[in-house]
Amino acid sequence: MRKPRIGIFDFACCEGCQLQIVNLEEEILDLLGVVTPVEWREAMSDQAEKGESFDIALVEGSITREEDAERLREIRARAKFLIALGACATIGGVNKLKNNFGMNDVKETVYGEAADMPHLETMPTKALHEVVQVDYMVHGCPIEAAELAHVVRTLLAGKTPTLPAYPVCVECKLKENACRFEFGEICLGPITRAGCGARCPSEGSWCFGCRGLVDDPNTQAAREVMAHYGKTIDDLRGKMLLFNSK
Ligand code: SF4
Ligand code: SF4
Ligand code: SF4
């Protein structure tokens, strides 16, 4: 029987999520036993023929140019399942910071006097689902490698992967961490999707929301927490800009 074919693609990003795939180490060898990687620029010298199809396309990075959007549509057309990999792909991530400014200002800041050159065209950042249909999302900056392995294995078994639909606070409290609000910080744990094991609060930092908003965030509870610690909703919004700009 033919092994399922996987392609791995990147757009605007640091490629840290692909590195997490490499970091799967022994698990990736197991996975490679059940799939055939046919396109992976970062790790393969031979690439698939143009137009070849995939069972699963893993796509990291954000869409920041019209030519990126075209390429993403072409990948979508070739893939049975398309999985967005990491915050840049699932929510736009840090790349969406630029959406808080005019595009000309952004280009002048980055390219200076060369900003008008036609090949430096740019547009407001989009997450993948804002351009094409995305079947599954593996959140985080970077992704949790084990979560990706779970999603791929579940799909290959013909089942539907599910990801945590509760906030980071749940995992944080299970770990009995001291709450960052007690240290005068603003933590996005109450409104952010869990699945990272409360990685940041467990290391003594506030959650900066890299896994995106949890489904139906309990905004009233978040308001109450902010009020209890003498913070405002504007304080919260300010913290959200880093990963959750519109
Ligand atoms: S989500 Fe983070 S680690 Fe992954 S590609 Fe984007 S910036 Fe890099
Ligand atoms: S607000 Fe942050 S530190 Fe406090 S419990 Fe929630 S995730 Fe943990
Ligand atoms: S604690 Fe928050 S910022 Fe840190 S990895 Fe988890 S979701 Fe991302």
Mutating to test ligand 3, I would choose from 208, 239, 240, 244 the residue with most ligand atoms within 8 A of its C-beta, which is 208
Burial state string for 197-206 with b = 16 or more CB within 10 A and e = fewer than 16? ebbbbeeeeb
Residues in the chain: 246
CB of residue 173 inside a 6 A radius of ligand 2: yes
Q: Please name which ligand lies nearest the alpha carbon of 89.
A: 1
Please report the pLDDT score of residue 52 as a whole number: 77
Tally of CB atoms within 10 A around 72: 23
Beta strands in 99-197 (DSSP E): 136-138
Structure-block tokens of residue 179: 């709450």
Is the model's pLDDT at 31 over the cut of 90? no
Nearest to 136 by CA among 122, 119, 153: 153
Number of H helices, E strands in the chain: 10, 5
CA–CA separation, 67 and 89 (whole Å): 16
Q: What percent of the chain has pLDDT over 90?
A: 65
CA–CA separation, 26 and 29 (whole Å): 5
**CA-based radius of gyration for the chain:** 19
pLDDT band for position 19 (50/70/90)?
confident
Please report the pLDDT score of residue 9 as a whole number: 93
Ranges of each domain in the chain: 5-156, 168-244
Structure-block tokens of residue 58: 């893993």
Q: Which class is domain 5-156?
A: alpha beta
The pLDDT tens digits for 151-204 are: 988 988 899 998 899 999 999 999 999 999 999 999 999 999 999 999 999 999
Can you tell me which atom of ligand 3 is nearest the CA of 198? 1
User: How many angstroms is it from 217 CA to the middle of ligand 1?
Assistant: 23
Tally of CB atoms within 10 A around 3: 13
Is the model's pLDDT at 1 over the cut of 80? no
pLDDT band for position 48 (50/70/90)?
low
Structure-block tokens of residue 41: 């620029």
Which residue's C-alpha comes closest to atom 8 of ligand 3? 210
Alpha helices in 132-188 (DSSP H): 145-156, 168-174
Can you tell me which atom of ligand 1 is nearest the CA of 14? 8
Is the model's pLDDT at 49 over the cut of 60? no
Can you tell me which atom of ligand 3 is nearest the CA of 201? 1
CB of residue 207 inside a 6 A radius of ligand 2: yes
Please report the pLDDT score of residue 50 as a whole number: 57
CB of residue 191 inside a 6 A radius of ligand 2: no
CB of residue 16 inside a 6 A radius of ligand 1: yes
SS3 244: helix
Mutating to test ligand 3, I would choose from 196, 203, 240 the residue with most ligand atoms within 8 A of its C-beta, which is 196
Which residue's C-alpha comes closest to atom 6 of ligand 2? 169
How confident is the prediction for the chain on average, in pLDDT? 90
CA–CA separation, 103 and 123 (whole Å): 7
SS3 62: strand
The pLDDT tens digits for 221-242 are: 888 889 999 998 899 899 999 9
Nearest to 167 by CA among 129, 122, 132, 201: 201
